[in-house]
Each structure stands twice: as C-alpha cells, then as structure tokens.
Amino acid sequence: MSYIDLINAFWRLHRKKQFSSNAVAVFFHLLNINNYHKWAEWFELSYDNMALTLKLDRRKCMRSVRELSLKKAISSENQGGRLPNKYSIKSALQYQNGTTNGLQSVLQTDYKRTTNGTLLKSIENRDIEGERVKPPTNKPRVFMSDLKAKKAILEKRYKALRDAGYEDAWGHHFANNEDRLKARELKQQLKALEDRMLDEV
C-alpha cells in the first residue's frame, strides 16, 4: 500500500459519493498526518489543530470529518473530553484483501521499474464496488529505429522474391507458388509494421 494507492482509492470513492470541498481538504490533511505517523493504523489529531492548519472554522472541520466518516473515506473515534479524535484511513478504504467501502479487493500489487526509473504499479486483480477493472498491460518500450530496421529487412526479403520472378505482358510473376505465398505474407507483415510505426509517432 502506498500514498498513491490511498489517493487513487479516495478519488474513486469521490466519483461515487461526491465529497464537499472542505471534506476533500480535511481528507488530504489527515492523509498527510497519517504519513507523518509512518502509516500507523490509527493516529490522533485535534479539531483545533486541524482548523488552524486548514484555516477553517472548527465546526466546518467537524462537519467534514462526519461527512468523510459517513461516506466511508475514513474511520474516526471520539475519545471524549478534551482528548483528540482517533482516525484511520487504511481501515476505511480497506486497501487489502476484503470487502469494504468501494474498494473490495486488491491482490498482487507488483512494482516494476521502467527504463527511465519511473516506478509503475500493476494491479493483477481489482474489483471496485462489484465492477471488474482489467489489469493494465505494460507493453515493452519500442524504439522507432528498431521498427525501421525490421521494415528494411522485410522489404529486402520481399524484393528478393520479386527479383527471382519475371515480368511479361500480363505483369509480374513470382518464380513459383511458394514464393508468391511468402511474398503475400511479407506484405501483410510490412503493413502491420507500418501501422505500428504510425501508432508510435
């Protein structure tokens, strides 16, 4: 589970629940505090501290916390008296195997590094509120120079088959039927390669 996982989970839930702007601000403040506490399952924060940091009225902070709790973006516990509230983000969003709050299951998170060092996350199996989401497919990086080199090889092979044939009044004829079939296959490969080159542009 990472910072990005929780942010993505929150925005997915936001598309379903539509949080107020104050609730969004409070959530990301709590997320930052949770990060400060090294992602503890539960952490404490007072309304006074929250209001001071976010420059919001204390009552607005309380309403935002209540909204986030009711819509299952966070879990909160009132400890009573002058004690600060306890909060949990991980237990609410349930970014683990299980069923809760818009994020039902996340299995086998695989982290891979691309050639430029960017950290990518591929989710092998993910259900969001009953909706199946297909895992992303990370295609290997293709260089245009490689595609051009392959195209030159295919063109050279096709030319060799044509040169082995002959021309007459009715047009070009390959040397034999086998060469004709090979030439047709090479033309199909060339077309597919040219389409791929266009996609890479």
> What are the tens digits of pLDDT across the range 122-143?
434 444 444 454 555 555 666 7
* Distance of alpha carbon 31 from alpha carbon 17, whole angstroms: 18
Residue, of 192 and 21, whose pLDDT is higher: 21
CB-side neighbour CA atoms (13 Å) of 111: 7
Predicted local confidence at residue 140, as pLDDT? 60
pLDDT(158) > 70: yes
Structure-block tokens of residue 61: 């902070």
Q: HSE-up of 64 (CA within 13 Å, CB side)?
A: 21
**pLDDT for the residue 117:** 43
144-159: average pLDDT: 86
Nearest to 12 by CA among 111, 100, 129: 129
With 90 as the cut, is the pLDDT of residue 67 above it?
yes
Query: How far is 101 from 114, CA to CA, in rounded Å?
Result: 32
Residue 44, CA distances (Å) to 72, 75, 84, 183, 197 in order: 18, 12, 6, 72, 55
Residue of 176, 184, 177 lying closest to 157 (CA atoms): 184
Q: In this predicted structure, what is the pLDDT of residue 142?
A: 64
Residue 121 has what pLDDT? 44
Q: How confident is the model at residue 201 (pLDDT cuts 50, 70, 90)?
A: low
Q: What is the pLDDT of residue 53?
A: 94
Contact (CB, 8 A) for 12 and 4: no
Selected residue with higher pLDDT from 30 and 148:
30
Question: Strand ranges (DSSP E) for the chain?
Answer: 43-45, 75-77, 85-88, 105-113, 119-128, 131-133, 166-168, 171-173
Sequence-distant (6+) residues with CB within 8 A of 173 are: 165, 166, 167
3-state secondary structure of 55: coil
CATH 1.10.10.10 domain extents, the chain? 3-133
CATH code linked to domain 3-133: 1.10.10.10
Q: What is the mean pLDDT of the chain?
A: 78
Using one digit for the tens of pLDDT, what is the confidence trace for 18-60? 999 999 999 999 999 999 998 899 999 999 999 999 999 999 9
The pLDDT tens digits for 71-120 are 999 999 988 878 899 999 987 776 433 434 444 333 333 334 444 444 44
